[in-house]
């Protein structure tokens, strides 16, 4: 038991350490990481629960709030820990060390799985608890017993996202060990998952807007595959312990079966996953030189395209931009009708908010230094100026963004029938935002590098730099959106876009200056962190 607890502690720490940077100053503790996870879950739950509760209460279907929010809890837990399962349970770098210790593979697997479970539990509890409070606030049946019953049920419900991440993590790890185009296969699978999650969230959003007509459809879904969520809501709101016991069994039994199966074969699985085949039939052909800039740029591209979690976490905005443009063109007539009804509502600044929001998710440079990791020495001893190394990282992000921005911009302008001046300013503002984000992300990453991460996924998904380089530009987007409320009337659409251009140009210049002035020294000092 002592061994198991020691392993559990070690693996839980490994999960949380992803967000920690530095040794003394600027360091986030494991508690800080958990607090961030809890805060994000609380925010999402608070927003969705309060939006849903009012409408569900109006049609007398308030217990559905618990059904929907328990689904959100499972999806959120799944989303948070998907890459952790791949890295920590199957692809951990300490597998050889751990398997050489006098610990059974079963114990090792179980400790890693439980560490994952504990991480998930934070998000599950902080989604369900606010939902329960809001449910009671709107007068949902069940009284205050709802909250303790929800908490106990959360312990069981949380087994579902852990189970899903274990299975998907295994498939991803298996794919990455088997296919010659493993990065592509893994990226496609992850994009498929993302599409499913997006469809789910669109469905949830449309349900929020049209609860009355959606209630029967929601109920029919939850009578089938969504049965555990319905059991939770009915058991908690009615105090029905039999239904709750059924829910607990539905969560616990498949979890134990899968964990037992995987743990039983754990050593064989990770041995197979860590086995690589190297071809030995390469023939050296004619080689040509392409210069330092090309070499650095190609290296950045190969890292990005060759690291599925990197593409997945920083490429969604790239898909959303042209995707939104295509959708806008398809619904062009509806948009025209809406604009006619809205009586000349200036939408160009709002479109810019949408475009810049998408761009802020493409924080490739925010993980670029961290991903150099233990290979940093290659760049540090290369006869290339640091400014060139940093410049190529910025250039790569811009090269990836600009085509998507151009396509999205063109289609949005056509669909929304913008004025010529708005066309130009929307593009200029979008470009300036992109020019601000790329060096800013790199500057943040130089300040908060994570060079010793257990795998690439935790760097791009959970590191402080990845989060800051994504969320801080989003704060700027929010500020631009707020300006829309106050300045649209006095300035008009074109005037407001001009104000945005000035603000974004200043932000871009500041971020370039910060990188140019501090970047080289920060890069040189990385070795000593």
Partner 1 sequence: MLHIEHFSKSYPGHKRAVDDLSLHVAPGEIFGFIGHNGAGKTTTLRAVAGVMDFTEGTITIDGHNVRTDALAAKKVTAFLPDNPDLYEFLTGIQFLNFIADLYEISGDTRQNLIAKYGDAFQLTGNLGSPIGSYSHGMKQKLALISALIRQPKLLILDEPFVGLDPSAAHLLKQFWAELCAAGSAVFFSTHVLEVAEKLCHRVAIIKQGKLIRMGNTAELVGDSTLEDVFLELEGDGHG
Contact positions vs partner 1 (CB under 8 A): 183, 276-282, 284, 286-292, 294-296, 298-299, 302-303, 306-307, 373-375, 377-378, 380-385, 524-525, 527-528
3-state secondary structure of 363: coil
Q: What is the DSSP string of 374-421?
A: GGHHHHHTSSS-HHHHHHHHHHHHHHHHHHHHHHHHHHHHHHTT--HH
Shorter beta-carbon distance to partner 1: residue 216 or 294: 294
Helices (H), 138-181: 146-157, 159-178
Query: Tokens representing 189?
Result: 């699978």
Query: Tokens representing 334?
Result: 């509806």
In the bound complex, what is the minimum distance in angstroms from residue 24's beta carbon to partner 1?
Answer: 9
Closest residue by Cα to residue 467 from 480, 450, 454, 455: 450
Shorter beta-carbon distance to partner 1: residue 291 or 344: 291
Q: What is the DSSP string of 192-247?
A: HHHHHHHHHHHHHHHHHHTHHHHHHHHHHHHHTTTHHHHHHHHHHHHT-HHHHHHH
In the bound complex, what is the minimum distance in angstroms from residue 308's beta carbon to partner 1?
Answer: 11
Cα-Cα-Cα-Cα dihedral sign, residues 465, 467, 468, 472: positive
Count the neighbouring beta carbons within 10 Å of the beta carbon of residue 410: 15
Residue with tokens 């479109």: 351
3-state secondary structure of 346: coil
In the bound complex, what is the minimum distance in angstroms from residue 290's beta carbon to partner 1?
Answer: 6
Shorter beta-carbon distance to partner 1: residue 416 or 523: 523
- Segments of 86-140 assigned E as strands: none
CB 84 within 8 Å of CB 173? no
| Separation of first and last alpha carbons in the chain | 36
> CA angle, 156 as apex, 150 and 159 as ends, to 5°?
135
Shorter beta-carbon distance to partner 1: residue 119 or 372: 372
In the bound complex, what is the minimum distance in angstroms from residue 305's beta carbon to partner 1?
Answer: 9
In the bound complex, what is the minimum distance in angstroms from residue 299's beta carbon to partner 1?
Answer: 6
In the bound complex, what is the minimum distance in angstroms from residue 278's beta carbon to partner 1?
Answer: 4
In the bound complex, what is the minimum distance in angstroms from residue 289's beta carbon to partner 1?
Answer: 5
Shorter beta-carbon distance to partner 1: residue 47 or 378: 378
Shorter beta-carbon distance to partner 1: residue 100 or 278: 278
Query: Tokens representing 406?
Result: 């151009």
Shorter beta-carbon distance to partner 1: residue 66 or 183: 183
Say what the alpha-carbon torsion angle 15, 21, 27, 31 is, to the nearest 10 degrees: -10
Shorter beta-carbon distance to partner 1: residue 137 or 377: 377
The count of residues in the chain is 529
In the bound complex, what is the minimum distance in angstroms from residue 405's beta carbon to partner 1?
Answer: 26
Shorter beta-carbon distance to partner 1: residue 23 or 139: 23
In the bound complex, what is the minimum distance in angstroms from residue 25's beta carbon to partner 1?
Answer: 11
Shorter beta-carbon distance to partner 1: residue 291 or 420: 291
Report CA 512 to chain centroid distance, whole Å: 26
CA distance 313 to 459: 10
Shorter beta-carbon distance to partner 1: residue 26 or 302: 302
> CA angle, 450 as apex, 447 and 456 as ends, to 5°?
135
CB 422 within 8 Å of CB 348? yes
In the bound complex, what is the minimum distance in angstroms from residue 419's beta carbon to partner 1?
Answer: 46
3-state secondary structure of 336: helix
In the bound complex, what is the minimum distance in angstroms from residue 313's beta carbon to partner 1?
Answer: 16
Burial (CB count within 10 angstroms: exposed 0-12, middle 13-18, buried 19+), residue 144: exposed
CB 233 within 8 Å of CB 67? yes
Shorter beta-carbon distance to partner 1: residue 210 or 375: 375
In the bound complex, what is the minimum distance in angstroms from residue 65's beta carbon to partner 1?
Answer: 45
CA distance 295 to 288: 12
């Amino acid at each position: 038991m002592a061994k198991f607890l020691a392993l559990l502690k070690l693996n839980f720490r490994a999960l949380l350490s992803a967000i920690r940077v530095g040794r003394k100053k600027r360091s986030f503790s494991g508690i800080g990481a958990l607090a961030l996870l809890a805060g994000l879950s609380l925010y999402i739950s608070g927003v969705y629960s309060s939006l849903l509760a009012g409408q569900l209460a109006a049609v007398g279907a308030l217990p559905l709030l618990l059904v929907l929010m328990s689904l959100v809890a499972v999806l959120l837990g799944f989303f948070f820990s998907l890459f952790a399962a791949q890295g920590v349970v199957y692809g951990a770098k300490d597998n050889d060390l751990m398997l050489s210790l006098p610990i059974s593979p079963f114990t090792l697997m179980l400790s890693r799985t439980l560490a994952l479970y504990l991480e998930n539990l934070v998000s599950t509890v902080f989604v369900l608890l606010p939902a329960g409070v809001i449910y009671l606030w709107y007068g949902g049946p069940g009284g205050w017993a709802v909250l303790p019953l929800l908490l106990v049920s959360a312990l069981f419900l949380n087994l579902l996202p852990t189970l899903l991440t274990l299975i998907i993590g295994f498939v991803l790890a298996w794919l990455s060990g088997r296919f010659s185009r493993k990065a592509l296969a893994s990226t496609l699978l992850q994009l498929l998952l993302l599409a499913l999650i997006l469809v789910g969230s669109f469905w949830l959003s449309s349900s929020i807007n049209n609860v009355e007509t959606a209630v029967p459809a929601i109920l029919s879904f939850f009578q089938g595959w969504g049965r555990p969520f319905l059991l939770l809501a009915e058991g908690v709101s009615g105090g029905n312990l039999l239904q709750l016991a059924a829910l607990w069994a539905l969560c616990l039994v498949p979890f134990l079966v899968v964990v037992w199966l995987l743990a039983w074969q754990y050593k064989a699985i990770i041995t197979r996953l860590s086995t690589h085949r190297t071809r030995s039939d390469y023939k050296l052909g004619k080689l040509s030189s392409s210069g330092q800039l090309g070499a650095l740029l190609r290296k950045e591209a190969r890292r990005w395209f060759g690291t599925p979690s990197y593409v997945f976490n920083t490429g969604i905005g790239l898909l959303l931009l042209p995707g939104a443009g295509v959708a806008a063109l398809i619904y062009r007539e509806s948009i025209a009708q809406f604009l006619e009804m809205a009586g000349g509502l200036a939408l160009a600044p709002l479109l810019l908010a949408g475009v810049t929001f998408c761009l802020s998710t493409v924080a490739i440079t925010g993980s670029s230094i961290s991903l150099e990791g233990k290979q940093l020495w290659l760049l540090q001893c290369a006869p290339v100026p640091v400014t060139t190394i940093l410049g190529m990282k910025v250039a790569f992000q811009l090269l990836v963004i600009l085509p998507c921005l151009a396509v999205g911009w063109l289609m949005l302008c056509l669909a929304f029938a913008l004025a010529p001046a708005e066309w130009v300013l929307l593009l200029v503002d979008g470009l300036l935002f992109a020019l601000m984000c790329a060096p800013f992300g790199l500057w943040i990453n130089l300040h908060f590098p994570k060079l010793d991460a257990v795998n690439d996924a935790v760097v791009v998904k959970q590191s402080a730099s990845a989060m800051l380089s994504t969320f801080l530009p989003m704060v700027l987007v929010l500020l631009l959106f707020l300006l829309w409320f106050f300045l649209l009337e006095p300035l008009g659409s074109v005037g407001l876009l001009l104000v945005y251009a000035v603000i974004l140009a200043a932000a871009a210049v500041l971020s370039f200056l910060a990188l140019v002035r501090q970047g080289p020294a920060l890069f040189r000092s990385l070795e000593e962190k």
